Amino acid sequence: MTLTVRPNDKEKENELASWEGSVEELRGLVSDRAMTGETMLLNMGPHHPSTHGVLRLLLELDGEEIVTCLPDIGYLHTGIEKNIESKTYEKAVTLTDRMDYLSPMSNNMAFCLAVEKLTGLDVPARAQTIRVICLELSRIASHLVWLGTHALDMGAMSVFLYCFREREMILDMFEMLSGQRLMGSYFRPGGVWRDLPAEFLPTLQKFVDIFPSRVNDYETLLKNNPLWRDRTEGIGVVEPDEALALGMTGPSLRGSGVNWDIRKATPYSGYEQYEFNVPLGEHGDVYDRFYVRIQEFHESLKIIKQAMKNIPGGPFRSENRKFVPPPRAELGRSMEAVIHHFKLWTEGFSAPDEEVFVAVESPRGEIGCYLHGTGGTKPRRVHFKTPSFMHISALNKLSAGHMIADLVGIIGSIDIVLGDSDR
């Protein structure tokens, strides 16, 4: 049986028949009531202001209530993993930026940690501290976009531009570091691309001084707002063990009360030195996931303040010249530097024919990077397990029984980025 509106014109009808799909294709995926037409199949198509990117949701609706939600991704698939197989490790870092484009440093981090683990490359203490500062700034920037767009979708439109005003300050700092506001490829295997410029720390200090009061502003706008609470409390509830079984991670998992933060459990890049709390929710609903991220603003600021206070001196990138190019000044003085530079620029460094897996805590959840080398200069296989991928797959469980308006809130609360899920 096909679902179609019957036009009066026979010609028009034939024209339609060429592209309409049969509901038979969806047997087993949607409930049996859709087969008879009792429930309606609605396409919340890739072009939609609330789906945070090109996400297609096939909704089976009983009136306004969602019976099944079938996500269809792949509209932003750019083949990053296959592309990396034809690039050397240093060049591949720029490709990893493009996955989760709202917090590009986390993707860089996952890939660089995997390369460093595979090759056994050291990272000096100064680089680790700089990386932590950048990661936490990236977390704040990503949460600001999340808050702005989530509130915008739910109708609280004034929050959006306030969040972006703060994000401008962070993007200015990223531009100081790497020359690019977003996607700077600042992290490289062995450390960071270049040292902190002189104007970075004073700007960061200014940001750290004014930001707490701004977060309090956002909190007061939404936290006790009766409209906000009405629309978010009790919506999209997921039990802790169900969330774990579905593969949810990060703040979306912590909203259900599961105490797992990779920065605490299996720390990397010196996170064990910093004191910070891991905010947890209780009910596993949209409001708790929202409030966990609001509290993460404060925790990230705490980490940045501690890291800023004592940034160790020393090199900003590993000195292992087999992997890291020498500074340009050295090229005029040393023959070995020229040879290393030449080898790294023409060929790149080699990694053993082994596999490693590294996971980092991105603002969205756990980014896992599986890296398999060939013994040569290009990887055999890179696979990124991205949090948005897992969270979109959980949408069916989260949204069952809710209305479309609630679905908008649920999508906002799991904080998806389609570049992250499709790669």
Partner 1 sequence: MPIANAIDPVESLKAALPDAVKGVKIFRDETTIIVDAAQIEKVMHHLRDTKGLLYNFLSDISAVDYYPDASTPDRPERFGVSYHLYSLLYSRRLRVKVFVPEDDAHVPTVTTVWPGANWLEREIWDMMGIYFDGHPDMRRLLMAQDWDGHPHRRDYPLGYETIMFSFNADEIAKFKPAATN
Q: Which of 33, 48, 56, 77 binds partner 1 (CB under 8 A)?
A: 77
Regarding 214 and contact with partner 1 (CB under 8 A), the answer is no
Regarding 113 and contact with partner 1 (CB under 8 A), the answer is no
Integer Cα distance of 302 and 267 in angstroms: 17
- The piece of 35-43, 52-60, 201-209, 241-249 that touches partner 1 (CB under 8 A) is 241-249
Give me the least distance between CB of 270 and partner 1, in Å please.
17
Regarding 22 and contact with partner 1 (CB under 8 A), the answer is no
Give me the least distance between CB of 50 and partner 1, in Å please.
22
Size of residue set near partner 1 by CB under 8 A: 42
- The piece of 198-206, 290-298, 356-364, 406-414 that touches partner 1 (CB under 8 A) is 356-364
Contact flags string 299-338 toward partner 1, x per CB under 8 A: ----------------------------------------
Regarding 390 and contact with partner 1 (CB under 8 A), the answer is yes
Closest to partner 1 by CB, 251 vs 368, is 368
Asked if residues 153 and 328 have their Cβ atoms less than 8 Å apart, the reply is no
Closest to partner 1 by CB, 29 vs 227, is 29
Regarding 29 and contact with partner 1 (CB under 8 A), the answer is yes
Regarding 247 and contact with partner 1 (CB under 8 A), the answer is yes
Q: Which of 265, 282, 322, 327 binds partner 1 (CB under 8 A)?
A: 265
Asked if residues 94 and 74 have their Cβ atoms less than 8 Å apart, the reply is no
HEC readout, the chain: CECCCCCCCHHHHHHHHCCCCEHHHHECCECHHHHCCCCEEEEECCCCCCCCCCCEEEEEEECCEEEEEEEECCCCCCCHHHHHCCCCHHHHHHHHHCCCCCCHHHHHHHHHHHHHHHHCCCCCHHHHHHHHHHHHHHHHHHHHHHHHHHHHHHCCCHHHHHHHHHHHHHHHHHHHHHCCCCCCCCEECCEECCCCCCCHHHHHHHHHHHHHHHHHHHHHHHCCCHHHHHHHCCCCCCCHHHHHHHCCCCHHHHCCCCCCCHHHHCCCCCHHHCCCCCCCCCCCCHHHHHHHHHHHHHHHHHHHHHHHHCCCCCCCECCCCCCCCCCHHHHCCCHHHHHHHHHHHHCCCCCCCCEEEEEEEECCEEEEEEEECCCCCCCCEEEEECHHHHHHHCHHHHHCCCEHHHHHHHHHHCCCCHHHHHC
- The piece of 50-58, 183-191, 285-293, 352-360 that touches partner 1 (CB under 8 A) is 352-360
Give me the least distance between CB of 247 and partner 1, in Å please.
3
Regarding 90 and contact with partner 1 (CB under 8 A), the answer is no
b/e sequence 333-372, b meaning 16+ C-beta within 10 Å: eeeebeebbeebeeebbbbeeeebebbbbbbbbbbbbbbb
Give me the least distance between CB of 417 and partner 1, in Å please.
15
Closest to partner 1 by CB, 130 vs 369, is 369
Q: Which of 194, 223, 302, 385 binds partner 1 (CB under 8 A)?
A: 385
Regarding 162 and contact with partner 1 (CB under 8 A), the answer is no
Which two structure tokens, joined as six digits, stand for 400? 């069952």
- The piece of 80-88, 190-198, 286-294, 409-417 that touches partner 1 (CB under 8 A) is 80-88
Regarding 400 and contact with partner 1 (CB under 8 A), the answer is no
Regarding 31 and contact with partner 1 (CB under 8 A), the answer is no
Q: Which of 7, 37, 79, 212 binds partner 1 (CB under 8 A)?
A: 79
Radius of gyration of the chain (CA): 24
Give me the least distance between CB of 165 and partner 1, in Å please.
36
Give me the least distance between CB of 266 and partner 1, in Å please.
6
Residues that bind partner 1 (CB under 8 A): 28-29, 73-74, 77, 79, 81-83, 85-86, 117-118, 120, 244-248, 258, 260, 265-266, 354-357, 359, 366, 368, 370, 372, 380-381, 383, 385, 389-390, 392-394, 422
